[in-house]
Amino acid sequence: MRELALFELNCVCYCSHPPEGCKDFQQADTEHLSRWKRWKRTSSKSLKKALSEVKGFSSYLVLWRHDIHSIEGKFGTGIQSYFSFLRFLVLLNFIIFILMFSFITLPIIISKYGIFNNTIVNISPKYIDNCTIYEPSGNKGLVYFYTYLQDLLSGTGILEVTSLFYGYYTIDAIWISTMRYNLPLAYLLATFAYLALSLLWIIKRSVEGFKQNLVHDADPFQSYCNKVFAGWDFCITDPNAARLKHRSLQCELQTDLQEEKLKQKIAERTMKEKLRIYSLRIFINIIVLAILSGFFYSIYRVTVFSQENSNDVDNANFQANLLVQYLPSMVITLANFIGPLIFSFLIRFEDYTPAFEIKMTLLRCVFLRLANIGVLLFSLWSQISDCGTDKCKPCGYNYKLYPCWESDVGQEMYKLMIFDFIVILAVPLFVDFPRMLLVTHCSCKLVQWFGLQEFGISDSVLEIIYGQTICWIGTFFAPLLPAIATIKYFVIFYIKKICLKHTRKPAARPIRASSSNFFFLLVLLIGLILAFIPVGVSIARIPSSKACGPFRNFNTSWEVIPDTIVTFPTGLQQVLFGMASEAFAVPFFMIICIIMFYFTALARAHKRVVEQLREQLVLHGFTFQEMLMCDLA
Partner 1 sequence: GVTFCPKELHGRYYEMAPNVVPMDYTKDPDVKLPMQLIINMPELKENPFKERIVESFSEDGEGSLSFNDFVDMFSVLSEMAPRELKAIYAFKIYDFNTDNFICKADLEKTLNKLTREELTAEEITLVCEKVIEEADMDGDGKLGYADFENMISKAVLHLQIR
Rule CB under 8 A: which residues touch partner 1? 1, 3-4, 6-15, 17, 212, 216, 219, 221-222, 224-226, 228-232, 234, 236-239, 241-242, 246-247, 249-250, 253-254, 257, 260, 610, 613-614, 617-618, 621-622, 625, 628-629
Look at residues 366, 365, 369 and name the one whose alpha carbon lies nearest to residue 341.
365
Contacts of 573 (CB under 8 A, 6+ apart): 565, 566
Q: How far apart are CA 631 and CA 633, in angstroms?
A: 5
DSSP letter (8 states) at residue 554: S
Q: Which is nearer to partner 1, 271 or 629 (CB)?
A: 629
Nearer CB in complex with partner 1: 102/237: 237
C-beta of 223: minimal distance to partner 1 in Å? 8
Closest to partner 1 by CB, 16 vs 443, is 16
Q: What one-letter code names the amino acid at 225?
A: C
Residue 19 phi/psi, 5-degree rounding, is -55, 145
Q: How far is the CB of 277 from partner 1 (least distance, A)?
A: 25
**Nearer to partner 1 (CB atom), residue 429 or residue 610:** 610
Q: Nearest approach, Cβ of 356 to partner 1 (angstroms)?
A: 21
Pick 139 or 223: Cβ nearer partner 1: 223
- Max CA pair span of the chain: 103
Give the distance from CA 550 to its chain's centroid.
Answer: 29
In the three-class reduction of DSSP (H, G, I as helix; E, B as strand; rest coil), residue 492 is classed as: helix
Answer yes or no: are the C-beta atoms of 436 and 503 closer than 8 Å.
yes
Find the shortest distance in angstroms from Cβ 506 to partner 1: 15
How many residues are given for the chain?
633
Q: Strands (DSSP E) along 39-196, which ranges?
A: 117-120, 171-176, 179-182
Q: How far is the CB of 267 from partner 1 (least distance, A)?
A: 17
Nearest residue (CB) to partner 1, 450 versus 622: 622
Report how far residue 438's alpha carbon sits from residue 445's, in angstroms, rounded to the nearest whole number: 11
Nearest approach, Cβ of 625 to partner 1 (angstroms)?
A: 6
DSSP character string of 42-53:
HHHHHHHHHHHH
Residue closer to partner 1 by CB (options 594, 613) is 613
Return the number of the residue (243 or 274) whose C-beta is nearest partner 1.
243
Q: How far is the CB of 616 from partner 1 (least distance, A)?
A: 10
The rounded distance, in Å, linking the Cα atoms of 176 and 107 is 10
7: left (phi over 0), alpha (psi -120 to 50) or beta: left
User: CB-wise, 233 or 351, nearer to partner 1?
Assistant: 233
Q: Residue 364 — φ and ψ, nearest 5°? A: -65, -40
CB of 458 to partner 1, least distance (A): 24
| Least Cβ distance, residue 218 to partner 1 (angstroms) | 12
Least distance between partner 1 and beta carbon 273 (Å): 24
For residue 492, the tally of other CB atoms under 10 A from its CB is 22
Beta carbon nearer to partner 1, 14 or 57: 14
Minimum separation from the CB atom of position 230 to partner 1 (A): 5
**Could you give phi then psi for residue 243, rounded to 5 degrees?**
-60, -45
Q: What distance in Å separates the CA atoms of residue 321 and residue 463, rounded to the nearest whole number?
A: 27
Round the CA-based radius of gyration of the chain to a whole number and report it: 30
Query: Can you list the positions of beta strands (E) in 165-315?
Result: 171-176, 179-182
* Distance between CA atoms of residues 633 and 628, nearest Å: 9
For partner 1, the closer of residues 287 and 618 by Cβ is: 618
Q: What is the dihedral of CA 64, 66, 70, 73, to 10 degrees?
A: 110
List the end-to-end C-alpha distance of the chain, in Å, as a whole number.
Answer: 36
